[in-house]
A and B are shown apart, each in its own frame.
Chain A
Amino acid sequence: DAKTTQPPSMDCAEGRAANLPCNHSTISGNEYVYWYRQIHSQGPQYIIHGLKNNETNEMASLIITEDRKSSTLILPHATLRDTAVYYCIVKSRDDKIIFGKGTRLHILP
């Protein structure tokens, strides 16, 4: 099963770009990378996903390396409301979905 590794915590100044890394070195060719975030104890919220190409939506950008072994979620202009735990997920072969411990992002005023 592909698993992910993320730093436990990161800080980012308000208004700056937040770059959150994720390693998924055992990812297989047809597995997508998903990013979710969880604000306090609310239900996790979908942010973005991708397979090979870089993706962008109204919330964030996702950069996936050419070998697909790692990716970076970019929040272009972080605000205090982006303070949350961010999860990088790769769906496993047998339909289980494995969340890691995520990265706790602190946005500093």
Chain B
Amino acid sequence: EAQVTQNPRYLITVTGKKLTVTCSQNMNHEYMSWYRQDPGLGLRQIYYSMNVEVTDKGDVPEGYKVSRKEKRNFPLILESPSPNQTSLYFCASSPGTSGRGTQYFGPGTRLTVL
């Protein structure tokens, strides 16, 4: 089944404790992206990747890192999480390198930073 998977789905952590949220897609898509969603603010893009080893900042990249060493995986790294990073996070992928194609979203990761 074609899908985007994220792990973990739920995470409660404390300020400053490094964490990684994994994202994997099995559709051989070039473009992958991370979003965060907060009440009243809609979906905001954090980082995106047009292909392996190619990443760029979205609208709200501060406090996050990403890597794209393999086509299927696009982990989101929070080196030193803070409470303002408490949010619902979505990973997405799409064919092509422009992000113009239809995006397929993962189920979401709800992160709480205490």
Decide if B74 is an interface residue (CB 8 Å cutoff): no
Chain B nearest CB, measured from A71 CB (Å):
16
> Given the known A-B contacts A43-B105, A45-B105, are A101 and B50 also in contact in the complex, defined by CB atoms under 8 Å?
no
A42-B108 contact, Cβ under 8 Å, with A99-B43, A101-B42: yes
Main SS class of interface, B: strand
**A95 interface hit (Cβ, 8 Å):** yes
Given contacts A95-B50, A96-B48, contact A44 B102 (CB under 8 A): no
CA–CA, A102 and B39, complex, Å: 12
Q: How many inter-chain contacts with C-beta < 8 Å in the A-B complex? A: 59
| Number of B positions contacting A (CB below 8 A) | 29
Task: Tell which of A42, A43, A95, A99 touches B99, judged by Cβ atoms closer than 8 Å.
Answer: A95
Interface bin, chain A: 20 to 34
* Known contacts A41-B88, A41-B108, A42-B108; A97 and B48 CB within 8 A of each other: yes
Q: Counting CB contacts under 8 A, is B62 at the interface?
A: no
> Could you give, for residues 84-109 of chain A, a 1 whenever the CB lies within 8 Å of some chain B CB and a 0 otherwise?
00010001000111111110000000
Nearest A residue to B110, CB-CB: A41
Contact B42 A97 (CB under 8 A): no
A-B contact pairs, 10 of them (CB 8 A): A41-B37, A44-B103, A44-B105, A45-B105, A95-B56, A95-B98, A96-B99, A97-B58, A98-B59, A100-B42
Q: 6 other contacts beyond A43-B90, A101-B42, with CB at 8 A cut-off? A: A34-B102, A44-B43, A44-B103, A87-B43, A95-B48, A97-B33
Among all A-B residue pairs, the 6 with the closest Cβ atoms: A43-B105, A99-B43, A101-B42, A46-B102, A44-B105, A99-B42
